[in-house]
Chain A
Amino acid sequence: MTERRIDDQLVIYGRTFTSRLLLGTSRYESPSLLENAIRAADPAMLTVSLRRQVAGFSPDSGQSFWNLLRETQRTILPNTAGCLSPHEAIKTACMARELFQTNLIKLEVIGDEVSLQPDPFGLVEAANQLVRLGFQVLPYCTEDWILCRRLMDVGCQVLMPWAAPIGTGQGPRNARALRELRERASNIPLIVDAGIGLPSHACQVMEWGFDGVLLNTAVSRADDPVRMAGAFASAIKAGHSAFVAGPMVVQETAVPSTPEIGRPFATDYSTPLATAN
């Protein structure tokens, strides 16, 4: 049985968080929707990125976006989204460190532009170099145990396996492998990142003992992102509480909830029914 961590705080590279939700900041209809969603989600961290400045006013980039981020007073987690090689990812991480003044980096090295599946080889190489450069790496990875072990070997203290491809909202595609990963990697924080679509998906992985959930599109593209942000926050709390509480063991056959002893009008069904004459 997975060891049950009963503390109510998420610890990431020595930083403690009361929330177990990490929220992406992309694809909101307006800055005010993002701001209100952040308030409703009460996330531990906000993921951000960096891009060339576009001409004209852009609500989700540049100075206005920067000011919004600062006002939330949340921990910022920059990503290396879109990087297709370790070199690109390392360069992007270095720029992000200077821009956001943090050693934290959500490491993405994409191996396939259709599925946006991580490149396991490039991911380990990039993580290895980034750890040596003093980064605190949160790698976006798959649930593959060997990959996860390699990432831990090079110094990653958190892993972020996907539930399903980015932006699909399909929920956990490979439940058995995710649960096995949780069992094997019992001493490292595991945050399910990508592919979560519903609060029930988030609740489920938390019930399995995962330490947190990172999501973006499931909130930002909901009809009501603010309400959905609150729904996810509640689901993640519920799932974690259920894990800590320890679910009952599933039974093969029915077990009466109400005591049998002393039941009035008791009939003994273990003996054959009397034949009517």
Chain B
Amino acid sequence: MFVIVNGETRPLPEPPTLTALLISLSPKTPFAVAYNEEFVSRGDYDSCRISSGDRIDIVHPTAGG
């Protein structure tokens, strides 16, 4: 049972929610999240259940033109 976070395989958290995953990863703030290539707003983290093989993207501010 695993999820793919930013292209890397990670164990599926327990309970299998986005909130639990983010607590285990502790990404530096600020960040935003996409679940299976769809944006998930901060208010929906608790209700976002994840399954084995799902893809999570966590993005941060970066320089841009």
Contact = CB atoms under 8 A, between A and B. Distances in A.
Contacts of B42: 98
Max chain A Cβ within 10 angstroms of own Cβ: one of B7, B38, B41, B64: B64
Interface residues of A, number: 35
Contacts of B57: 52
B65 A51 contact: no
A53 B41 CA distance: 18
Contacts of B61: 48-50, 61-62, 65-66, 69, 99-100
A255 to B, nearest CB: 44
B64 A24 contact: yes
A26 B60 contact: no
A81 B63 CA distance: 11
A98 B63 contact: no
B32 A98 contact: yes
B37 A53 contact: no
A79 B61 CA distance: 11
A61 B60 contact: yes
Provide the main secondary structure of the chain A interface. Answer: mixed
A65 B61 CA distance: 7
A91 interface: yes
Interface string A28-67: 1000001000000000000111111100001011110110
Contact of B31 (A24, A60, A99): A99
Interface string B19-59: 00000000111111110011101100000000000000111
Interface string A85-100: 0000001001110111
B17 to A, nearest CB: 18
A166 interface: yes
Contacts of B31: 53, 99
Contacts of B60: 50-53, 61-63, 66, 99
Contacts of B32: 50, 95-96, 98-99
B8 to A, nearest CB: 10
A95 B65 CA distance: 17
Contacts of A100: 61
A167 to B, nearest CB: 8
A58 B60 CA distance: 11
A191 to B, nearest CB: 13
A104 to B, nearest CB: 13
Contacts of B30: 66, 99
A217 interface: yes
A87 to B, nearest CB: 8
A49 B62 CA distance: 5
B63 A26 contact: yes
Nearest to A214: B65
B34 A50 contact: no
Contact of A50 (B6, B7, B59): B59
A161 to B, nearest CB: 16
Nearest to B27: A53
Interface of B: 6-7, 27-34, 37-39, 41-42, 57-65
11 contacts: A25-B63, A49-B62, A49-B64, A51-B59, A51-B60, A53-B58, A62-B61, A65-B61, A95-B33, A99-B31, A167-B65
